[in-house]
Structure 1
Amino acid sequence: MRTRLEIGALQALCAIADQGGVTRAAAYLALSQSAVSHKIKRLEEGLGCTLLTRRTGTTPFTDEGERLLGYARRLLALHDEALLNLGQQPLTGRIRLGMTEDISGGGLARILGRFTRRHPEVSVQARVGQSLAIATRLARDELDIGILQVFAHQTLSTDLVLGRDALHWVKSPDLALDLSRPVPFLSFDDSCFYRHWAMEAAQSQPPGLTTVLTCPSIAGILSALHAGLGVGLLHASQIPPGLEVIDAPFPAPPAIAHVVRVSQQARERAVGALVDEIAAELGRPALTRVA
């Protein structure tokens, strides 16, 4: 059987060229670096040639890679044009979308931008909030789609799981902990399930916690952590250079999952189309479909 050029692999190839490497392409596409590398490896195996040089300080592409890049750009342009112009019934309606701060930029912003250009008759109304607040609004039918975090063991069978991540206690290396007294704790606000878990699990054992700052913004928490004001809880992909992961004397946090969740009352075709776009972009089949 002849080799087929997968759209996702061609998108990865173009992103490597546009973003300047595999690592930046992965961040742009909202994929792991290994997922992008796997897409390119499958392309190479199917075509029987090497596409990336994998050497630092040079162009990332071999001669064959440069040639394929030209074809890839033309194929993707035709792909997008076909999707835009050949839809049997234009999508219409309104989508109420809730998302957490850490997911609101990057890959999701690009997906939303492309979706609204393809479907100009669909109004996407997005709001950023904490995961617990998004889950509550979904249950009340105040949102159609929520992109949020939950503890991994609390995912629903209808959730589209985008990925799983470890949760860590972190602090500045400059902060010396005095375990003879409660540890200063930097927390997101009351709508944060990290905070709820910490107040139940870590507060119940010595030396306990004392909340010295609550802030709904990740930027504010990171600033306070770097300043050495206290310890905090961050998932692995949020931890920047300059902060250290700590264990004792705290209990090990549960793993978390990043999920797309659809309101049970959502019936618009556009809702299902957007969920499918998110699933396709991240390389996973859609687990939640709207009739």
Structure 2
Amino acid sequence: MAVRDLDIGLLRTFLAVADRENFAGAADQVFRTQAAVSQQMQRLERLLDCKLLVRVGRHKRLTEQGVRLREYARRMLALNDETCRAMNKSVFDAPTRIGVCADAVDTILPDYLALCARTYPGMRIEIQVNRSRWLASALRRGDIDLLLELEQFDEFPRITFRTSPVVWISGTHFHHQQNLPLPLVLVDSPCVFRRMALNRLDQENRPWRNAFQTPTLAGVRAALRAGLGITPRTIEMLTPGLKVVGEELGLPTLPSASYHLYMRAGDNPDGARKLSELFVPS
């Protein structure tokens, strides 16, 4: 039986794969895991009963049918998004206020905002960056509508849209003598990475010292580039001048960390609800 209806979400992911030519890049663009992207593409191929993608080395390339679908998919998504904007103009009457932890500001936030802007280009967004407890209190009071955060707050409904490896990071010229306590660059408490690192080091009975402490992520970056020590952070923090360390220092592996999008329970502004729905797992 010929397919009669196509899932817009599947087409959006398909175009991300077509543009990035791999599942990893597409996963970052649509805020899903690589496994979820793979499952979506398998589902779309079953719906259309044809092969859309082939593997060429490390890349995913479009088949003839995939090229044909890409043109239709772009037109369908453009019309879908235009329709959504036309029917939801009231959403844009007030800005949507998003609280963001410092770790997300220059790592995952830009792609998040790009997706929001593509879907709702008329929406106004205000960003507030602060410490986790302050942001949670702001969400509780209604001073912000959404919260993008690494810490866990069980009182709020949440969507988890990225889980990232946590690694030990240093400056490129950092050198450590094995017989000395490990120099750590830490953010003031409370901090999910601080707790994670100290717990693992204590479990391993690994001596450490607080070489540099700061309330800001900018301070952490500066200390690392100066070669003052190492810090645990998600892989997204890697930039020129920084590197991953671990095996050469005999460091313990660290658990992954998840970025959550929180909202208040009950009624929420339309803008917050629509932005959060962009990331509901399919």
Normalising by the smaller structure, the TM-score range is 0.7 to 0.9
In structure 1, the residue matched to 2:109 is 104
The secondary structure found in structure 2 opposite 1:84 is helix
2:53–2:66 Cα contact (<8 Å) kept: yes
Structure 1 unmatched ranges of 5 or more: 285-291
Alpha-carbon offset, residue 103 of structure 1: 2.5
1:113 maps to a residue whose letter is A
The secondary structure found in structure 2 opposite 1:150 is coil
Aligned-residue identity in percent: 23
Cα distance between partner residues in 2 of 1:266 and 1:145: 12
User: May I ask how many residue pairs the two structures share in their alignment?
Assistant: 273
In structure 1, the residue matched to 2:273 is 272
The secondary structure found in structure 1 opposite 2:207 is coil
1:170–1:234 Cα contact (<8 Å) kept: yes
Paired residues for 1:140-151 under 5 Å: 140-150=141-151
Cα distance between partner residues in 2 of 1:99 and 1:18: 28
2:126 maps to a residue whose letter is Q
The C-alpha deviation readout for 1:115-172, integer Å capped at 9, x for no partner, is 54254xxx42112334344224323443221010025xx6456222224344333446
Paired residues for 1:158-237 under 5 Å: 158-171=157-170, 175-190=174-189, 192-196=191-195, 198=197, 202=201, 206-212=206-212, 214=214, 216-217=216-217, 221=220, 225=224, 228-237=227-236
The secondary structure found in structure 1 opposite 2:168 is strand
In structure 2, the residue matched to 1:114 is 118
In structure 1, the residue matched to 2:20 is 19
Cα distance between partner residues in 2 of 1:156 and 1:251: 32
The secondary structure found in structure 2 opposite 1:234 is strand
The secondary structure found in structure 2 opposite 1:272 is helix
2:34 maps to a residue whose letter is Q
Alpha-carbon offset, residue 62 of structure 1: 1.1
In structure 2, the residue matched to 1:90 is 90
In structure 2, the residue matched to 1:261 is 262
1:105 maps to a residue whose letter is P
Cα distance between partner residues in 2 of 1:52 and 1:214: 48
2:186–2:210 Cα contact (<8 Å) kept: no
1:132–1:192 Cα contact (<8 Å) kept: no
Cα distance between partner residues in 2 of 1:64 and 1:200: 52
Structure 2 unmatched ranges of 5 or more: none
Alpha-carbon spacing, 1:252–1:142, altered in 2? closer, same or farther (3 Å): farther
The C-alpha deviation readout for 1:237-263, integer Å capped at 9, x for no partner, is 545794133598767655432211124
Alpha-carbon offset, residue 65 of structure 1: 0.8
Cα distance between partner residues in 2 of 1:104 and 1:69: 27
Cα distance between partner residues in 2 of 1:42 and 1:48: 10
Alpha-carbon offset, residue 176 of structure 1: 4.6
Q: TM-score, normalised by structure 2?
A: 0.77
1:167–1:256 Cα contact (<8 Å) kept: yes
CA RMSD of aligned residues (A): 3.6
Alpha-carbon spacing, 1:27–1:267, altered in 2? closer, same or farther (3 Å): closer
Deviates further, 59-68 or 17-26: 17-26
1:138–1:144 Cα contact (<8 Å) kept: yes
1:70 maps to a residue whose letter is E
Cα distance between partner residues in 2 of 1:207 and 1:276: 46
